[in-house]
């Protein structure tokens, strides 16, 4: 049956099993209220920079990013850590258009340098956004759409995409 439902000790964010449970609850609530909600997948990546003093991925980055996520959020928003560099956000009563604005705030917070123990780490974030019911009406469909959106974001010039975004190539040198 998968991993136990729990919160991460460092970030205090739910794990993948908690996301599945909360996604099912969000679908049921959205069906009753006839409202939409959004699911975002967020993937952090290291930026090569002359200011970056560390070559290792510090275990302190995830808790700091979790704090930054929660500062951008509303009380009804839920966050999850799915892997060391992958997060998810479940945004209650939000449309796809609103989730793009939220994704920009999240990306801006990720772009601010992480200063941990006198080390500076610069990150970027790729964010895939999906909306219920437009991108799917089941947990499985929404998770697939979020995964596709994240793949599209990896190829997007601004790092933010939906499942239906046609990726525009990133700029490569002159």
pLDDT in tens, 19-77: 999 999 999 999 999 999 999 999 998 766 555 555 567 788 899 999 999 888 888 89
Work out whether strand 123-132 and strand 160-162 pair parallel, antiparallel, or are unpaired.
parallel
Whether the CA torsion 52, 167, 64, 82 is positive or negative: it is negative
Ramachandran angles phi, psi of 107, nearest 5°? -65, -40
Whether the model pTM is above 0.75: yes
Percent of the chain past pLDDT 90, that is, above it, reads 47
Contact 14, 4 (CB under 8 A): no
Task: State the residue for tokens 């990546």.
Answer: 45
In angstroms, the CA 166 to CA 155 distance is 9
């Amino acid at each position: 049956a998968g991993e136990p439902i729990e919160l991460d000790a460092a970030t205090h964010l739910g794990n993948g099993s908690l996301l599945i449970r909360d996604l099912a609850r969000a679908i049921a609530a959205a069906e009753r209220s006839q409202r939409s909600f959004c699911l975002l997948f967020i993937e952090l990546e290291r930026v090569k920079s002359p200011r970056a003093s560390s070559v290792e991925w510090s275990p302190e980055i995830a808790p700091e990013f979790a704090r930054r996520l929660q500062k951008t959020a509303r009380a009804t928003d839920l966050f999850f850590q799915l892997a060391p560099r992958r997060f998810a956000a479940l945004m209650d009563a939000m449309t796809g258009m609103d989730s793009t604005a939220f994704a920009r705030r999240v990306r801006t917070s990720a772009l601010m340098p992480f200063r941990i123990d006198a080390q500076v780490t610069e990150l970027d974030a790729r964010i895939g956004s999906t909306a219920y019911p437009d991108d799917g009406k089941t947990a499985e469909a929404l998770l697939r759409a979020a995964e596709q959106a994240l793949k599209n974001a990896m190829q997007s010039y601004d790092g933010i995409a939906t499942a239906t975004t046609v990726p525009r190539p990133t700029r490569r040198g002159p």
